[in-house]
Each structure stands twice: as C-alpha cells, then as structure tokens.
Structure 1
Amino acid sequence: MTALPDFLRIDPATRRVCLDGRNPAFYGDPNRVYGILHQHCPTFYWEEQKQWFFTGYEHVNMLLRDRRFGRQILHIAEREELGLPAPAPHLENFDLAERYSLLELEPPEHTRLRTLVNRAFVSRHIEKLRPDIAELAERLIDRFEKNGTTELLSAFADIIPVTMIARMIGIPDEMGPQLLAWSHAYVGMYMFKRSKQDEYAADRAAQEFADYVKSLIAERRLKPQEDLLSHMIHTEHKGQYLTDDELVSTTIVLLNAGHEATVHQIGNSVRVILESGLPPAVMFRDEAATERTVEETLRICAPVHIFQRWALEDVEVDRVSLKPGDKVSLILAAANLDPQKFSDPLSFQPDRQQAPNLSFGAGIHFCIGAPLARLELNTVLPILFRRLPDMRIASPPVVKDVYHFHGLERLDLAW
C-alpha cells in the first residue's frame, strides 16, 4: 500500500475520507490521491463535501447511464422536503441562465433541446472544420515562433477553442476575449468552497452573457445566417420552437463547454507529453498514433474531474444505500485510472489501447462537444510539435485552483 500524504485521511472500514480539495498538494497532483483511493476505498464518503463519491470505472460508467439517477431533482420533489435552501437572490441571473442548460435537464426537455443542436456536432459536420482549425493554429504559431519562448495558454490554447465554437454559433472572432472573461467568471460557481465574491462575479457574467446572446437572437430572427444560432432559432421540433430563455441557456452552455475544457486539455496534453520524455515525433507519426496519443492524454489528465447526479429513487450502489434527493459525485478522472481497467494506470503510455476513457462522460449527457474537442486536439497538437520540435517547459507549471476542473494557470515554453 502507498503511504498516505499528510493532507489525506482514510478510514477503510467506514469508507470515510478527509481531504481538503483546496490544498495545492491535492489539486496540483490529484492522480496521486486517486491512485491511493483505488487501493483503499474506490467508493468513499468525502467528509468535507458531505457526499458519496465513486471512482471505480464500472461504477462511474454505470451511474452515468443509470436512469435511476438524474441531473434534476426538483421535477419529482419540492425544495422543502429535500431540505434544499431557497434560491439565492444574488444568483438570480446565473440561475436563469442555468435553468434550461443541457447539462442540467432531463428528458423530455433535454431530448428536445439536444435534438435541435446535435446535428451540428456530429463527426461528419465537425470534420469540415479541420482546415480552419489547422490554419488558425499555424497562424498563431507564426506569431511567437521567432521569439523562442511563449506562454502557451494565452498565445495558443485559449484562442483556438473559443474561436471555433464562436464561429459555429455565429459570434464574431473579435468577441473571443470577452467570451473568455465571461466564461472564466461563470465557471467560478463550480469551485469547491467558492466565495461570495465568486458568486457575484458569476451572476454578473451570466447577466452580461445573456444580454449579449439576446441581442444576437434579435439579429438572427431578422436576418438568419448559416450558423448554429440561426438553426436553433428557426428549426422546430415536434411543432415547438426554442424560447428565448432556452436559446440563451443553450448558447451559453455550448460556448462554455465548447472551449473551457479544451483550453485546459491542450495545456495538460502538452505538459504531459513534454514531461514524459518520449519522442513526440513518434506519438504523432500518423493519424492512428495521434488518436491514441490524444486519448491517452485525455485519460491521464482529464480536464473535468467530477460529474454529479441526484438519486431519483431508493437505490443501492456498491453497498451504499441512497434515497431520493441524495446527491452523488462521479470522479471521471479517477475512473480513468482504475487499475482494474488500465495496466500501470498512473503512467503515460501513448500507444495504450485498453478501455475507452470517460473524460467526456457517458449516457444521455455525454459531452455534445466531444467530436469538436477531439478534432481540435488531433489537429493542433501534431502541428505544434512539428513546428516546434525542440519545445521544452521553461518553468514549473502551476495548476489552477479550480478543482473540479483541472488545468494550468500558465505553461511557459522555450525552444
């Protein structure tokens, strides 16, 4: 058994775990802790979070698909009977933006919304974007190649995903920096022990974000274009069109989900490849090798670590009895490290061909942007390492304190 670090306490008999999610020693290297949890208790009650967590691959994969669990609970029970607090007045705009989020809805509402946007994200449509992604990557590298150094996130990783998802929706490229600012404030709501300041910032971003999207909706109603927003406005599903509130929620979630995780993953992937000491030229020698390398980076350094579900009925999972209204958390990144599924799971093996990673989830809430994220990673990483073959990490990377997302504050490179 691996010795426990001093910031982690485990009682295997009761499966109780004490762990400060804001401790840099944890969020800076969560895989180490996940490996220990797999040894002692893959299913555990996290005392600080007051919730059961599942890390085993089979359990996580099953729970993502199990219709006895859902992302909503208030469609079957009242707040009072569940002991949930009333909505906070200072989060009114954020709550409104989330009300019709694809991430939060269950069928039939989820089915209607997803059906309207899914066509734009299927692989055969996404593949048409490859030349644009490659052209943007080459142009960005042109800007800093001669300098011999760069900070990769601000100069490269931040720009590509937000530009591509904005173009798909129908938002001008020059809005990229503002979209990033809104998104960073918005996802502050998902941090452990978020502050009141974080909440005010998220609510303000939600209001500004929504106002901007409403202005775009008004424009596209008058003058439709060949973009996803026009498609969502003017396409009906079983005789129904999306309302303005549904359009705003869907656009915001597509913008956030369409770039936030990919920004992290570009940085995470470059870091893990450079730190491995393995030759990138071999990893990206052809399309098949590139795909395996990308999937292995997604497995070992996933950008989103936790997905939560409500129990909708009495259910028992791995000897844990749950009742309606109990919330559980699935650690996707830990499931990717399950030794029952992956040999030597904490090692980076770009030629690995084992179980599929769960980094994009599974079931009806499988990430709608997964084909786009995979295409971006499979396109820009080979270009980056081909253009800068002598690239190295110039200073120790610092991980963002935004658990349960996982990404870098910055990645300084030199060549």
Structure 2
Amino acid sequence: MTDRPMSGHAASGPAVKEFDPWSAAFVADPYPAYEALRAAGRAHWFEPTRQWLIPHYDDVSELLRDRRLGRTYLHRFTHEEFGREAPPAGHEPFHVLNDNGLLDLEAPDHTRIRRLVAKAFTPRTVERLAPTVQRLADELVDGLRADGGGDLLARVAEPLPVAVIAEMLGIPPGDRQPLRPWSADICGMYELNPDEETARRAVRASEEFSEYLRGLIAERRRAPGEDLISALIAAYEDGDTLSEQEMVSTCVLLLNAGHEATVNTTANGWFTLFRHPDQLELLRAEPGLLRDAIEELLRFDTPLQMFERWVLDDIQVGDTLIPRGSEVALLFGSANRDPSRFPDPGRLDLRRPAADNRHVTFGAGIHYCLGAPLARIELAASFGTLLSRAPGLRLAAEPRWKPGYVIRGLEELLVSW
C-alpha cells in the first residue's frame, strides 16, 4: 500500500457507506448505491480497498483512455518507487501469467503484442466461427429442451463460450473439462482483497493451465493446424514474434475474458428479461430487435462491475486531486446507468438503438476487449436460439448471486417451460 498522502480526500460519507462489495444485498442490487455515489460527487475515497471510486460515465470513459493511468506501473516504476509492496513470492506463477497478458500490459509491450495477436485473431477468424457457434448453441438448447428445462447457466451459458474458445485454440475435446475451473480460479484474483485461499487456487490453476498450454504449443510447432495457437506461433512482423510466455498468457486471457463476460451476460440477461416480462414479450414478438436488445442487456446489468487502474501521474477528477501511486476503481455498472449519458437509465428498453448505446461494458482505449466481436456473435446465437426454440421459457426458481462483485454473476438460473 502507498504511504504517500492522498490529496483532496473525499469524506467517507453516507454515499460511500452504501458501497459494500462484500454484502450479498449490495451484490444483488448495487444500483441504488451507484446512484448515491453519482449524486455525491465525482471521486470518492474507499478506505477498505484504498481506492478512489469513480462513478460517472464521462469520467470513466475519459480515464479508460488517459495514458497517465495504467493497468500496471512496472513499465515506469519499481514497486518501491511506486510506494507498493511486491506480491508474495508464492504468488509468482499467477503474476507471471497475468502480467504477460494484454489486459495488464502497457505500451510499448501492449502495442507490440496486440499487433501480433491481431494478425492471428482477425475479423475473418471470428466470422468463420459463426456457423460453429450456431451449431453449438442449437445442440445445447435442444438438450435443455429435451430435459424440460434445468440450469440455463450450466447447460447453455457456460459451455457455449468455453467450447468456442477451445475450438478456436484447437484444444481437443477430451482436454476441455478443466478449462472452466482453471478460469474461475484464476479470475478469483480479480476480486477485491482476495484472501490467501483464493490466491492458492489461482496459483495452482496458473501452473496447471500454463503447463498444459506449453505442451500444446510444442505440438503445434511440430505440426501446425488451422487453429489460433498455430496462427499465434506464425504471427510475425518486422522480425518480431511472440515469446512462449506471451502466447500462454494470451491464450489464458482469451479464455478468461472471452467467456466470463459471455457467461454472465447470458445468465444475467435472461434473469433481467424474466423480471421485465413486457420486454421479453416484445423481443419474442420482434426478433429483429435482438441486436439492440443485446447491447441494452450489456448496458443494463454489466457482468464486469469495476475496472481498476493505477495513477502514474497526478490527475484531477472534479475538485479532487488524485496523486501518483493511487488506484482508481472505474465503476462500469454505475457509468452504464448514468442519466447524463443514457436517458431513463434504470429502465430496460430493448428498443434503445445499438448505435447510440455506447456502454463501457467492453472497456475503451487500448484495453478495449479484443474478443468483443466474438462475444456478440455468441450472445446473438444463444439468445436467438433460446427465443426461437424455447418460446415458453420461464424462470423456475429465484436465483442467488455469487459472492464476487467485480465479475458479477449468478450461482445458477433454473428454467422450465
């Protein structure tokens, strides 16, 4: 933690006290607390995590693009220079994996790796997956229908994006079972103040997933295929290629980021539709609204509620000076409900035009989600297939929210018809 003084401290007033990310009630409905934060100001000091909470759309959007902030500070400072403690040595496998991925890199490393990855992860690659995505969605929905219902999260929302990413990477079907548990354990480290047991699981998953991918990369070097790993090995520009660690970290990031958002948007989105039956009936009556509807569901209840960044040089947010060495928590869920950007933001409106629905769910700036086009294809396939093949789908039991706040999703979503 930094020992530098925090300038312009906002008092931990009533609005900040409503922000309680470890409370089940808050996780179930954080939006009243966000409204209070927006009304109370533009930057709020949150002592439990020693972060500045940023709740307004314009500030979140601007700070996502501001190069005075970064996902890491190690390209400019040591831990000591930045007033931070180095992570425990026992956590190193997680940090090696995480710190070499696009999500936590800054220029020039981020620029170089994203350029090389983009040569393999092209729009054409994504578009070629569309028939596979639709086939998988059809199979999963037909299986759920044949059983008369079940857990939509476990039966459709989770397996679809995992299968798609595995197919893209060229992971054999018999090797795919550990992918979701590995991802869940690694993503536990993105929650606020993770405990040592969470870190232990993340380290183990990082080691096991990395070892598996190194073996797969070695196989593809000997016998290249039509998969993304083979394309990453072949990616080349001006004498530069990806290192083995960069390839491993890229593959893990594609799995983690490429399916966490899709899984939770699918389940959270259907729960939202069940709670807004008029909008669900509208979508069933007018399937042509699906594109707009998906963007509205991404805005209305975003699966990634918070995105953290380090302050590399002093910044000013409103009348608050936030000094170098601080950490800001950009509240995506609050930004997406900001009335200054979205008319009547607390109302689910599936007719809200996608072209004007500029939510921050996929981020912005250099860290804008590389997999956003694939996520949209997956969401269109899963929602579209469920709407057409299970028109009587209904909620069978009130779901519970997982305890995590940063990546926010349901434990299960039981449905029937």
TM-score, normalisation: structure 2: 0.92
Q: How does 1:35-74 map to 2 (within 5 A)?
A: 35-74=35-74
| 1:408 pairs with one of 398, 407, 410 | 410
Asked whether the equivalents of residues 50 and 327 of structure 2 are also in contact (C-alpha less than 8 Å), the reply is: no
Quick one: structure 1 residues 21 and 279, their matched pair in 2 at CA, closer, same or farther if it must change by over 3 Å? Answer: closer
> How far apart in 2 are the matches of 1:355 and 1:216?
40
Quick one: structure 1 residues 310 and 11, their matched pair in 2 at CA, closer, same or farther if it must change by over 3 Å? Answer: closer
Other-structure match for 1:182: 182
Other-structure match for 2:364: 362
> How far apart in 1 are the matches of 2:17 and 2:135?
48
Unpaired runs of 5+ in structure 1?
Answer: 1-9
CA shift at 1:140, angstroms? 1.2
AA partner of residue 164 (structure 1): V
Other-structure match for 1:260: 260
CA shift at 1:47, angstroms? 2.4
> How far apart in 1 are the matches of 2:265 and 2:236?
35
> How far apart in 2 are the matches of 1:140 and 1:166?
16
Other-structure match for 1:381: 383
Other-structure match for 1:399: 401
CA shift at 1:128, angstroms? 2.4
TM-score, normalisation: structure 1: 0.93
CA shift at 1:195, angstroms? 1.8
CA-to-aligned-CA distance 1:340-397 (integer Å, 9 cap, x gap):
1112211111111344111000001000010000111112101102111111111111
> How far apart in 2 are the matches of 1:336 and 1:370?
17
Quick one: structure 1 residues 240 and 120, their matched pair in 2 at CA, closer, same or farther if it must change by over 3 Å? Answer: closer
> How far apart in 2 are the matches of 1:219 and 1:153?
33
Other-structure match for 1:319: 319
- Equivalent residue pairs, number: 406
CA shift at 1:70, angstroms? 1.3
CA shift at 1:105, angstroms? 0.6
SS at structure 2 position matched to 1:255: helix
Asked whether the equivalents of residues 19 and 48 of structure 1 are also in contact (C-alpha less than 8 Å), the reply is: no
Asked whether the equivalents of residues 165 and 255 of structure 1 are also in contact (C-alpha less than 8 Å), the reply is: yes
SS at structure 2 position matched to 1:310: strand
SS at structure 2 position matched to 1:342: coil
CA shift at 1:288, angstroms? 5.0
SS at structure 2 position matched to 1:402: coil
CA shift at 1:272, angstroms? 0.7
> How far apart in 1 are the matches of 2:235 and 2:391?
47
Q: How does 1:170-249 map to 2 (within 5 A)?
A: 170-249=170-249
Quick one: structure 1 residues 335 and 153, their matched pair in 2 at CA, closer, same or farther if it must change by over 3 Å? Answer: same
> How far apart in 1 are the matches of 2:293 and 2:88?
44
Other-structure match for 2:3: none
Asked whether the equivalents of residues 35 and 346 of structure 1 are also in contact (C-alpha less than 8 Å), the reply is: no
CA-to-aligned-CA distance 1:231-261 (integer Å, 9 cap, x gap):
1112212211111111111111111111111
Other-structure match for 2:142: 142
Asked whether the equivalents of residues 42 and 55 of structure 2 are also in contact (C-alpha less than 8 Å), the reply is: yes
Asked whether the equivalents of residues 57 and 338 of structure 2 are also in contact (C-alpha less than 8 Å), the reply is: yes
AA partner of residue 276 (structure 1): H
CA-to-aligned-CA distance 1:262-302 (integer Å, 9 cap, x gap):
11111011111121012535325667511110000000111
Pair 1:332 & 2:332 matched? yes
Quick one: structure 1 residues 180 and 406, their matched pair in 2 at CA, closer, same or farther if it must change by over 3 Å? Answer: same
Other-structure match for 1:101: 101
Asked whether the equivalents of residues 42 and 54 of structure 1 are also in contact (C-alpha less than 8 Å), the reply is: yes
> How far apart in 2 are the matches of 1:234 and 1:384?
38
AA partner of residue 247 (structure 1): M
AA partner of residue 396 (structure 2): A
SS at structure 2 position matched to 1:82: coil
> How far apart in 1 are the matches of 2:209 and 2:285?
42
CA shift at 1:224, angstroms? 0.8
SS at structure 2 position matched to 1:372: helix
AA partner of residue 145 (structure 1): R
Asked whether the equivalents of residues 281 and 385 of structure 1 are also in contact (C-alpha less than 8 Å), the reply is: no
Pair 1:80 & 2:80 matched? yes
Other-structure match for 2:114: 114
> How far apart in 2 are the matches of 1:112 and 1:47?
37
Asked whether the equivalents of residues 15 and 43 of structure 1 are also in contact (C-alpha less than 8 Å), the reply is: no
AA partner of residue 291 (structure 2): E
CA shift at 1:186, angstroms? 0.7
CA shift at 1:120, angstroms? 4.5
SS at structure 2 position matched to 1:278: helix
> How far apart in 1 are the matches of 2:108 and 2:71?
13
CA shift at 1:323, angstroms? 2.4
> How far apart in 1 are the matches of 2:256 and 2:233?
19
> How far apart in 2 are the matches of 1:291 and 1:72?
35
AA partner of residue 144 (structure 1): L
Quick one: structure 1 residues 327 and 12, their matched pair in 2 at CA, closer, same or farther if it must change by over 3 Å? Answer: closer
CA shift at 1:306, angstroms? 1.1
> How far apart in 2 are the matches of 1:414 and 1:16?
40
